[in-house]
Structures are given as structure tokens and as C-alpha cells.
Amino acid sequence: MKYAIIFLILFCICCKHNSPVPEGAALYKASNWVVEQQEGGTVIFHMNQLEITDAKGCTVWLKHKLKAPVSIQYDATVISNGGPFDRVSDLNCFWMANDPSSPNNFFKHSKKRAGKFSNYHSLTQYYVGYGGHNNSKTRFRRYNGQENRPLLKEHDLSDKKFMLVPNKKMRITLKVKNNTVTYVRDGEVIFTLTDSIPYHSGYFGIRTVKNHMKIENIKIQEF
């Protein structure tokens, strides 16, 4: 009986750890996300939408750790309607993120990170800054945990066709499969990387600064 109870407890813990990502309206509950944000901004969880209004820096992390192969899809709209933070810039994201200083508890330093961009440089993760630098740069980086954030020439884009259009909904798809990492916008592959040491598990976060945007139609598939 004693061993049966121990087994049952371990089984429940395992099930909880490997619980699937919520779908539909359940995914947009605040309890499924961790908000790291500088003073002056807000994140509102609607029934089928996240609305981020940010002053100085914000990352909204999905609490569920993802495992590759994985596809992360969502619609994003950067709002320009005369609001105080309606700046058309920085539709950014992190995925497959981990903290080398706390490998077993990614959110241990959540309050310390607090939405300040430089506090994320020590993580291992993939990152895209879409329409950064006041909508003049779109870049992809593979963070290696050493804060130097390497940038390949082919992953540094400045052509207008790779910039944000205000109030236009964009479909973003992030994928990690085997050694291939891709970032897709509206069906077009914008970035691809063959990673010899790919990040096969980690956290997904929506990132921005001084921006007002809506995120909806989130769909995450581990296959």
C-alpha cells in the first residue's frame, strides 16, 4: 500500500508537469501567463485575446514549457490610433527560452528580469525583433547565454517589406523541428536557421517595448 501511494503521487506530479497547453478561451486566462513588465504598462487578458500596452519594456511568458518539434502560431496587430504608447515598433518574441543560472526554475528570476530588455541577454533562446529600432530593423538572434547575442548578416533585415504596417493583422509562426528553426510571417519564411545544437525545449514569450498591440488566435502544437 505504501509503495502504491508513492507511485500515485509521482504519477500525478508527472501528469501535472506534462499537462498539455490549454486551448481556446482557456489559453487566455491570466493564470497561464507570467507578466514581466516595467512600470507604466498593462497587460489585459480578454476572453480570446491578449492586449499589451507598454511604456518601458514587457515580456509575457506562457507558463507551459514547450518541447520540440513544436509550432507556435498567433495573430498580432500593432495598434496606431493616437494612444500614448501607439508606437509602430517592436513586435518581438522569444521561444525555447531557458535560464542557465536556474535550469530547473525558469521563473525564479522573473521579478528581477522585470521586463528590462538587457536582463534577458543571459538566457538561451531564439529571438526575433520584428520592426525594431522604430520600425527600421528586423532581426533574428540565437542567444547563447553569454550575453553577446550573435547576429548573422543574413538575419539583419532593413528592407521596408520586412517592417510593420500599423493596424494590420499579421500571422506569425515559430517552428523548431529537428535542427531547423524558422520564423514565418503570413506564410512567408522570413528567417531560417540550421542549428547544430538546437534548443529542443523551453518557454515562449511575447516581447515588446513602448508599444500597443493585440495578440489573438494563438495555437501551439507539439508533434
Interacting residues of 190 by C-beta distance below 8 A, sequence separation 6+: 128, 138, 140, 157, 162, 183, 184
pLDDT, position 73: 98
Where is average pLDDT lowest: 15-29, 70-84, 120-134, 156-170? 15-29
Residue 8: pLDDT over 60: no
Q: What pLDDT score was predicted for residue 200? A: 97
**What value does the mean pLDDT take over residues 90-117?**
98
Q: What is the pLDDT of residue 16?
A: 41
> Which pLDDT value is given to residue 20?
82
pLDDT of residue 61: 98
Question: Residue 1 above 70 pLDDT?
Answer: no
More confident residue, 5 or 51: 51
Is 222 a residue whose pLDDT tops 50?
A: yes
Whether 108 shows a pLDDT value over 70: the answer reads: yes
Q: List pLDDT tens digits, range 35-94.
A: 999 999 999 999 999 999 999 999 999 999 999 999 999 999 999 999 999 999 999 999
**Could you tell me the domains of the chain?**
25-222 (2.60.120.560)
Map the chain to HEC letters.
Answer: CHHHHHHHHHHHHHHHHCCCCCCHHHHHCHHHEEEEECCCCEEEEECCEEEEEECCCEEEEECCCEECCEEEEEEEEECCCCCCCCCCCCEEEEEEEECCCCCCCHHHHHHHHCCCHHHHCCCEEEEEEEEHHHHCEEEEEEEECCCCCCCCHHHEECCHHHCCCCCCEEEEEEEEECCEEEEEECCEEEEEEECCCCCCEEEEEEEECCEEEEEEEEEEEEC
Q: pLDDT tens across 161-212, in order?
A: 999 999 999 999 999 999 999 999 999 999 999 999 999 999 999 999 999 9
Instruction: Record the pTM.
Output: 0.91
For residue 32, pLDDT beyond 90: yes
What's the full length of the chain, in residues? Answer: 223
